Amino acid sequence: MTLLLKLALAPLLVVGSSLAGRRWGVRVAGTLVAFPIVAGPILLITCLEQGVRFGARSAAASLLGLVSLAVFAVVFAYTGRRFPWPVTVVVSWTATVVADIALAGLTVGAGWALLLVMMAVWAAARLTRAIEGPAPAGAGAARPPWWDLPARAAATAALVLSVTGLAATAGPVVTGILAPFPIATSVVAAFVLAQQGPPAVIRTLAGVVQGLVGFAVFCFLTAVLLVPLGVAGAFGVAVAGVLITQLIGVAVRRRRPDTRPGAGAPVDVTTGRRPL
């Protein structure tokens, strides 16, 4: 059962979010890929294999991993303005690993970890917004190659197998911090950078940063509810929490005026919708 979850659940979720992102644009794709579509199944499998107490500690550590994910988004956005996607991926992964190593030495509760994530998201949002310009006129999504979705699914399955395989020996803290490692985000961002250029990838990563708030809510609720409610109850509440958080975020962003320089048009020409 757990092997089936490793090989099917997370890859299917990644493919579904990728298809939805193609329908509504790169910024929405970034927000969707920041859902716990990889870390969620990893934490679920960890709970099933290692128990709820191990899973709760891993979920709390995953909050710290989201700080590294925010670092990844900022470094990728800035590096991608000047370098091709292979260099950008290497530099961004290096920054993420350095952040993971630093965070692995911290011992904080879920509440303090959540506060740290919110501070990181606030800083990352300001930094990405500073370089995010309006969508260029006539911009459109490039037609993806035939291997795009299979590659995303395969990369996701490999990540889930690797991280859950390490869970028994690496401990809950390392497992939790690695759970949000930006494999799916890297695939999406690298493809957008290669096919649509830096402006589009910056918008994608701005969406990733927005999605981290809901991701953090998911990890926090899972961490504090796993022991008292069990696997089904904790994950049910956490999934509801992330959906409600994202819906509130979308509503707030639709009401907020776009104050970016040169962003006078109220509709994003890439998606035909108001900017999220």
- Domain boundary assignment for the chain: 2-134+146-255
* pLDDT confidence band for 186 (50 / 70 / 90): confident
Computed over every residue of the chain, the mean pLDDT equals 79
C-alpha distances in Å from residue 42, one per residue of 46, 65, 93, 118, 166: 6, 13, 20, 22, 11
Phi, psi of 156 (to 5 degrees): -65, -45
Per-residue pLDDT averaged across 138-144, rounded?
57
pLDDT at residue 84, as a whole number? 94
3-state secondary structure string across 166-208: HHHHHCHHHHHHHCCCCHHHHHHHHHHHHHHCHHHHHHHHHHH
pLDDT at residue 200, as a whole number? 87
Distance in angstroms (rounded) separating the CA atoms of residues 233 and 221: 10
- For residues 117 and 66, the answer to whether their CB atoms sit within 8 Å is yes
Cα Dmax for the chain: 54
Residue 160, pLDDT above cutoff 60? yes
More confident site: 28 or 202? 202
pLDDT at residue 95, as a whole number? 95
Residue 116, pLDDT above cutoff 80? yes
- For residues 224 and 241, the answer to whether their CB atoms sit within 8 Å is no
- Identify residue 216 by its one-letter amino acid code: A
Instruction: Collapse the DSSP code of 156 into the 3-class scheme (helix H, G, I; strand E, B; otherwise coil) and give the result.
Output: helix
Range in 88-102, 107-121, 122-136 the model is least confident about: 122-136
Per-residue pLDDT averaged across 143-152, rounded?
79
Q: Could you tell me how far CA 230 lies from the centroid of its own chain?
A: 25
More confident site: 169 or 107? 107
Distance in angstroms (rounded) separating the CA atoms of residues 239 and 217: 9
Residue 218, pLDDT above cutoff 90? yes
Residue 2, pLDDT above cutoff 70? no
pLDDT at residue 99, as a whole number? 92
Q: How many residues does the chain have?
A: 276
C-alpha distances in Å from residue 56, one per residue of 11, 59, 130, 175, 263: 23, 5, 36, 11, 43
pTM: 0.79
Provide, rounded to the nearest whole percent, the portion of the chain with pLDDT above 70: 80
